[in-house]
Amino acid sequence: MKLNLKRPLAFFDLEATGTNIGADRIVEISVIKLNPDGSEDVKTWRVHPEMPIPLESSLIHGIYDEDIKDERTFKQLATEVAEFIHTSDLAGFNSNKFDIPMLMEEFLRAGVVFDLDNRHFVDVQNIFHQMEQRTLKAAYKFYCGNDIINAHSAEADTRATMEVLLAQIEKYENVEWEDKKGNKSIPVTNEVEALHKFTNLNKPVDFAGRMVYNEQGEELINFGKHKGKKVEDVFAVEPSYYSWMMQGDFPLYTKRKLEEIYNRFTAKKNAERQAARPAQPKPAEAAAPKEFKKPDFQKSNNPHHENKPYKKPEEPAKPVNDDMLQQLALKFKKG
């Protein structure tokens, strides 16, 4: 089928370092320009984003830092890209929410004028979502072929939901599905654990989706300026972020999970500091006063000596003189 075009329609898609329009950067842009005569012009550019590509993003689009290290920056490519789609309307999948705002952010950053006035924008995802409504009523009609009786009463909606799941399991039995990385599987089976995995592809930490798990099971911030960064890494570079979230308008369960991560992070840091601290010598214990022992002069450690009672050494004999003889005579003089 040929599109009825009055001017070129440029279908385009971006791959980027992440999904934060203001902070992330383009790493690849591909454009198929469909001309009114039915001909096509196709161009693809790899772009050096001037920032590291997070591993989580590389695992999705397959572009790593090594792949774009020698490519031109968007600022160097901006004029070429603008000229290629200069007179075109723009089309994409989710392009109104992501691709067009991201492209405009890059043009503005590069200082290249690209006017969106008087252009038409065709977002194919919006056609899909609006024509194939994502409501319980639409799902019940699609899978079960009926209208819900007493729609919007709790019991009727609950029963309809149960019947839709049973119909889905039957409809998608042995149906192959391919994820964004090209991995193929049969995810919809009659087994609750498998259904849990398939219906929680984003791996939320807190149900509200403010934090999600990466492939390694590490918690990532999933909103704002730190989107895509590990929660513990954010605590390390911006300690006040924890307090900001705990005091902010976030669900209580989100705060509980955040507190668990923060306590784990703090315990790990304390353990690392303790391990890095040099060992301190223990203070010397005060010596207990020794009990005075009277020397045992009766024993000798010399094996050649006999152990004999102690005797006071005798004084050397004095020479006999006249006084001594006289005293002896007086002492023994008969009475």
Q: What is the pLDDT tens value at each position of the chain, 335 positions in all?
A: 788 999 999 999 999 999 888 889 999 999 999 999 999 999 999 999 999 999 989 988 999 999 999 999 999 999 999 999 999 999 999 999 899 999 999 999 999 999 888 889 999 998 888 888 889 999 999 999 999 988 777 888 888 998 999 999 999 999 999 887 788 999 999 998 889 888 877 788 987 889 999 989 999 999 989 999 999 999 999 999 999 999 998 888 899 899 999 999 999 999 998 888 877 766 665 555 556 555 554 554 555 555 555 555 555 666 666 676 667 666 666 54
In a domain, 153, yes or no: yes
Do 84 and 114 share a structural domain?
yes
Domain boundary among 152, 177, 197: 197
Domain membership of residue 268 as a residue range: 202-275
What's the chain's Rg over C-alpha atoms?
45
* Helix-helix angle 100-110:74-84, to 10 degrees: 120
* φ/ψ of residue 210, rounded to 5: -70, -25
Whether 120 and 70 map to the same domain: the answer is: yes
Asked if residue 115 belongs to a domain, the reply is yes
CB atoms within 10 A of CB 324: 11
What pLDDT sits at residue 335? Answer: 47
Contact 298, 307 (CB under 8 A): yes
- pLDDT per residue as tens digits for the range 268-279: 999 998 888 877
| Same domain, yes or no: 24 and 123 | yes
Please give the backbone phi and psi of residue 22, each rounded to the nearest 5 degrees, phi first: -80, -25
Domain shared by 38 and 87, yes or no? yes
275, 295, 327 — which closes off a domain?
275
Asked whether residue 27 falls in the same domain as residue 50, the answer is yes
Contact 70, 47 (CB under 8 A): no
Residue 59 neighbours by CB under 8 Å, 6+ apart: 181, 215
Cβ contact 187:177 at 8 Å: yes
Long-range contacts of the stretch 181-186 (C-beta < 8 A, 24+): 181/59, 181/60, 181/62
pLDDT confidence of residue 282: 66
Chain segment 287-321, per-residue pLDDT in tens? 555 565 555 545 545 555 555 555 555 556 666 66
Tokens of 331: 């002492």
- Going by their DSSP bridges, the two strands 177-178 and 89-92 should be labelled as unpaired
Instruction: Tell me how far apart the alpha carbons of residues 100 and 115 are, in angstroms, rounded to a whole number.
Output: 12
One-character DSSP codes across 161-221: HHHHHHHHHHHTTT--EE-TTS-EE----S-HHHHHHHTTTT-BSSSSSSEEE-TTS-EEE
* 55 and 156 within one domain: no
Q: Are residues 124 and 171 in the same domain?
A: no
pTM summary value: 0.59
Token reading at 58: 């590389």
25-66 pLDDT, tens digit per residue, is 999 999 999 999 999 999 999 999 999 999 989 988 999 999
Q: Looking at the domain assignment, is residue 64 inside a domain? A: yes
Number of domains in the chain: 3
Q: Crossing angle for the helix pair 252-276 and 240-247, nearest 10 degrees?
A: 160
pLDDT (0 to 100) of residue 1: 75
Residue 20 lies in a domain: yes
